[in-house]
Structure 1
């Protein structure tokens, strides 16, 4: 099965009047495979795979570089979870930034664990309950970069699984 991803990177909070972004973005999607090296399980990353199959794990890492000539503060960066995939977890070992998640396509965001209200029937009566959202339901991830100096870069990312 061949799967194409359509990705949209967004920098929220920028006005339409601005002609240039204060940062450059470079997204790399890598196929994650576990292989044996000297008898030990090791991850192998294949950048920009041509084909992926259901069940494959993909690492999405965006490199953010400040190209503005001045320090940028409180920069929001939004990355949707691609269609036909499910969110797994943050990519480990990358830069820290405040992260929030959305389950409604990026209309609202909150810190994990997300909660939602559901109505269930118990003993013939409708009961409203608050439940924790499974991360596989996340549709969008938004980081807020507190500060990024001139020409500085940082990497942010997460893992997804192909449906």
Structure 2
């Protein structure tokens, strides 16, 4: 059996490439907001990860523009080869939602799904989570910073 390992940097790159930041702009502004973000992966010692290890993804955002950003949302995928750790998504003053359909729709946890065997609604398993979205409940002013995080377990 082959030992599956991955580079911590490769996992960070995957998340960074898929990071989506959305802002609501209601009118053309003379000084528009410009929200940017970086993704980092934190874990203990080495650059090699092994099955069962937990990685913490942190997304740090800042409004580098001159205007206030409204309705900001950060969406980050759960990297392939990992499973979301239930209860690990964090962000102060955020509405946190999850997707189990590749980022098409988002719901609060627990997500209810129909069990095809019984026809009953059951709580979706954490391994079905494909994306995490943080919706800001307050505007993000010029120069303001935010940080959100979540954990995944390597399969």
Normalised TM-score (structure 1):
0.75
What are the ranges of 5 or more consecutive residues in structure 1 without an aligned counterpart? 32-44, 121-126
CA RMSD of aligned residues (A): 2.2
- Report which of the two structures shows the higher radius of gyration computed on alpha carbons: 1
Query: Would the aligned equivalents of 1:59 and 1:91 in 2 still touch at CA under 8 Å?
Result: no
Q: What do residues 17-53 of structure 1 show as CA deviations (whole Å, max 9, x unaligned)?
A: xxx972110111011xxxxxxxxxxxxx55xx52111
Secondary structure, in 3 states, of the residue corresponding to 2:80?
Answer: coil
> Does 2:111 align with 1:111?
no
Q: Give CA-to-partner distance per residue, 1:44-80, whole Å, 9 cap, x none.
A: x55xx52111011000000010112111111111000
Q: Which residue of 2 aligns with 1:144?
A: 135
* Count, aligned residues: 137
By percentage of residues, which structure has more strand? 1
- For 1:22 and 1:71, the matched residues in 2 are separated by 9
Question: What is the Cα deviation at residue 160 of structure 1?
Answer: 0.5
Secondary structure at the counterpart of residue 142 of structure 2: coil
Matched, 1:134 2:134: no
Other-structure match for 1:42: none
- State the 1:135 CA deviation: 2.3
Structure 2 regions of 5+ residues with no counterpart? 26-31
Q: Equivalents in 1 of 2:33, 2:81: separation in Å?
A: 29
SS in 1 for 2:127: helix
Hey, what's the Cα distance between the residues in 2 that align with 1:67 and 1:141? 24
Relative to total residues, which structure has the larger helix share, 1 or 2?
A: 2
